[in-house]
Structure 1
């Protein structure tokens, strides 16, 4: 059995989101970008708006979101920028966002996330990084599935990270009830979950005209790194991480959301605007087999449904 050919594009890790969407017309398309009030979320939303899409900024702080929306309107000339409250760690907030959405949805970029937090739990008792990065987006995406179907053809982008290399999903103790809490292992687990979501969602939804892919944006100094110490950041640089600008960091998301040759292509993991290769020891790149494992992806989907079931939450 031959290995599938990896997808390559004309773009690189230095490409910007604006360069990726140049020449793409998204007029009449509707998009949602979570976490669009800072970092690469802003630049992803700006790129989509610049291509003509109606963009909803799904953010925790509506006030900050409105400031960003005003900036995007001014820089793109696109007046169709909306702001809606969304706290992915709060399932009530996710449900309210889904209930308020009306009409088709062509692009969903699951961009928001938290990283290396101290041991914090959601109201349900879930480990916060898994609850926010995976379960929040899982509930959002499945809740918006009818809107994605209504679009006729739609794309979902699931933001993962090279951090997934640190850990697969520990199905025996996802929420660190028995094992000692490790913030980087918890983060890695949540980012593996983001990649596995793309695998299973694409399998389930491709027949609906929906394609789902995972993206590693690269290392960017944004609010996502706010829980990291200066020492940890310096260690990352010394270890060989090359930090991108937010505009470069948003490029892979913009590519998966818009690039015409990717129509119908899903269930894959991209970095630096190209499909990722297997990891190479000593290099901070590539996609681990555990993040593309179809059996783990199917298991995670069912586990996630079980966790979100009302009966499981009392």
Structure 2
């Protein structure tokens, strides 16, 4: 029988800038009988507070400062890709549980924060634990929020079942559970949003904890590269970005598609393609503006100007 348990202790005092985070958390964790193979989960807010990431100023100005790219906006709400590569509302800037006129920013480097906390616990207790730093995020197509891992050390964050077979002999091709995110969400159930329990221990997955001295790749490997995600912009923003055609916006649309895929997209827009080759598509110039927008969104571009004004030549963009 498989069994996983979570303990979220009470009694953690308010964390302030410069506090020794391991020293603050360990007294509360003693009641949970910390052991090798446990996974310690801490909220990014207490990590940020200890690291002096509580700053003065308005929330909007700090969202601007933490934003790398706007993904979508609906009224005052902004979904952005922040400086850590995370796509989330308000760039992860938090104005709750902090005095007025201040906001909490995410840690400078959540993986480094996790490594430092793991090392401090090992040094003071001799116990080998994995560490996960969490934050709350929404999910496309789903109401509500869950906690995710934004930092990790000493543990596997992404299991791969590729190449393994199920009970029926079927080979698994893309199955890769994001176990660090699953742990973050499971632990949040015990912590509670208003429970003042910023840390918890998950026990029962010692197989995910790495040997002493091995910190692993961290939670950053869970972040898809810009352009590898299928949803680099919100629906409205994607239209505007493609219509604008700024070369700086190419990356979120991903790598150039094949000539056949581009021809199919042009066909859906009722634009006839004159020729299709491995690296060139020809089409009518009658609706040039639409052709250029579709080409940009698919990683292609119009090259040269047709001499007779009838046909356009499209080629894939170079990286």
Both proteins in one fold, TM over 0.5? no
Higher relative helix content: 1
- The two structures have a TM-score, normalised by structure 1, of 0.29
- The two structures have a TM-score, normalised by structure 2, of 0.29
Higher relative contact order (CA 8 A, sep 6+): 1
Higher relative strand content: 2
